[in-house]
């Protein structure tokens, strides 16, 4: 089945692009916007609407495979590719990507996605991660349709895996609205919650006291609002490096003492702490995460450490997993470029006995979330992020419903490999 055309359209994401540098330098929030001048190249204001590009691959039988190009909320920060503005990148897709794909057989997701991931521009640079991300989604959909398979079944066939027959744990994120959004999560019975967005000392507390108080509140709130008896979600809280700021990024004993307090406050609920420190470089981050994990493991503290910052690419995920730098690693799907890299990152983590959290960003689309769910079901990720947006209900619905559709179709023998 040949690819005969490629069509692009400009779209919006479920959140915003935020100039992280300006925010860290003290930009003042004013309702849903920030006042002040942007500091990261490409930004016209500190917060601006997220943009996406829908890529539609047309097959010779008239079927269409499609995906959405999207980039993370903090684009242009931490070594990431620049701000992803649709008008700037549509011409690249319509020329460079289209010329490579049109006329090819839609016969292999891994082959075609790998080729797109390796394409370079006139200066020898890889295409923007968002382009590789969205185009690979469209390739996956197109090849699956050409072969009469569900996307998850195509991934499973090409990687030799078995599609999950049950719902994967969905992790919901609250943003700053960490109290009322937690209620939404509990009411929906979310398996993993609440994110929390403890991204400043003022939020976490000078000695971590505010986070301790929040965990205490959250435990009682689950008991008060639980949708059914026996509901026991995992508490997964993102600390954005603030624990290291308070106690010292290489003070493993001091951080472990604090995590032990959090563990006791959360009990009987299991606790995960994402991004306890930000050590300023990939090497330093790996070292400090590994050191903290060793300290809490030796002391029998049952808190899982989740790697996030400085672990952006497939190569980074392999590096952190090889060094046991985190009990779980967030695999940030847009930052890995082609979606086949996400599949390989999850499989590598599982091979190494490290938790594989297939994450992403609030600044994605419904379509990228759906395609990610197919990949997660195919490679059996340990946890998936509810995305896009920060409203909880919409993102949880998109991910939960896509899993349910997959399970229902496969139970009826639709889109699966025939014996």
Nearest by Cα to 341 from 202, 144, 39, 133? 133
Residue 359 CA, chain-centre distance (Å), reads: 2
**Residues contacting residue 401 through CB under 8 Å, at least 6 positions apart:** none
Write b or e for each residue in 261-281: b if 16 or more Cβ atoms lie within 10 A of its Cβ, otherwise e: bbbebbeebbbbbbbbbbbee
Q: Point out which residues pair with 25 in neighbouring strands.
A: none
Q: Is 126 a catalytic residue?
A: no
CA distance 131 to 137: 10
Any idea how long the chain is?
419
Name the helix (H) or strand (E) containing 192.
strand 192-195
Strand segments (E) across 19-122? 28-30, 33-35, 47-59, 64-69
CA distance 321 to 304: 14
DSSP characters over 381-395: -SEEE--SSSSSHHH
- How many CB atoms neighbour CB 32 within 10 A? 7
Cα dihedral: 386, 390, 392, 395 (round 10): -40
Record the tokens describing residue 37, joined without a space: 């001048």
Catalytic residue among 145, 184, 332, 387: 332
Q: Residues with catalytic annotation?
A: 332
């Amino acid at each position: 089945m040949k690819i005969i055309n490629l069509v692009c359209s400009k779209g919006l994401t479920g959140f915003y692009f935020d100039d992280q540098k300006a925010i860290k330098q003290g930009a003042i929030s004013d309702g849903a916007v920030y006042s002040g001048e942007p500091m990261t190249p490409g930004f016209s204001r500190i917060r601006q609407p997220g943009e996406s590009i829908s890529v539609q691959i047309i097959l010779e039988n008239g079927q269409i495979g499609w995906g959405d190009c999207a980039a993370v909320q903090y684009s242009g920060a931490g070594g990431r590719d620049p701000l992803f503005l649709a008008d700037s990148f549509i011409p690249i897709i319509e020329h460079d990507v289209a010329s490579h794909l049109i006329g090819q057989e839609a016969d292999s997701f891994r082959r075609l996605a790998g080729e797109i991931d390796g394409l370079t521009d006139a200066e020898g640079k890889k295409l923007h991660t968002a382009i590789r991300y969205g185009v690979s989604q469209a390739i996956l959909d197109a090849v699956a349709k050409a072969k009469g398979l569900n996307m998850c079944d195509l991934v499973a066939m090409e990687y030799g895996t078995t599609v999950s027959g049950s719902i994967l744990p969905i992790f919901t994120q609250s943003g700053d609205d960490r109290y009322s959004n937690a209620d939404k999560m509990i009411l929906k019975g979310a398996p993993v919650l609440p994110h929390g967005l403890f991204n400043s000392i003022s939020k976490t507390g000078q000695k971590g006291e505010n986070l301790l108080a929040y965990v205490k509140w959250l435990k009682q709130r689950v008991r008060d609002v639980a949708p059914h008896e026996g509901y026991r979600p995992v508490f997964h809280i993102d600390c954005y490096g603030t624990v290291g700021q308070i106690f010292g990024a290489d003070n493993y004993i001091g951080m472990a003492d604090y995590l032990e307090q959090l563990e006791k406050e959360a009990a009987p609920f299991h606790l995960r702490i994402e991004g306890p420190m930000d050590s300023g470089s990939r090497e330093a981050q790996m070292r400090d995460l590994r050191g903290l994990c060793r300290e809490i493991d030796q002391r029998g503290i049952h808190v899982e450490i989740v790697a996030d910052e400085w672990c952006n690419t497939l190569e980074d995920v392999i590096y952190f997993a090889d060094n046991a730098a985190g009990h779980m690693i967030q695999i940030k799907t847009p930052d890995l470029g082609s979606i086949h890299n996400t599949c390989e990152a999850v499989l590598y983590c599982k091979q190494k006995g490290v938790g594989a959290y297939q994450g992403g960003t609030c600044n994605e689309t419904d379509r990228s979330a759906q395609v990610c769910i197919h990949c997660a079901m195919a490679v059996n990720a340990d946890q998936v992020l509810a995305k896009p947006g920060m409203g909880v209900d919409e993102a949880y619905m998109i991910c939960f419903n896509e899993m349910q559709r997959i399970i229902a179709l496969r139970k009826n023998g639709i889109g699966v490999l025939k014996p």
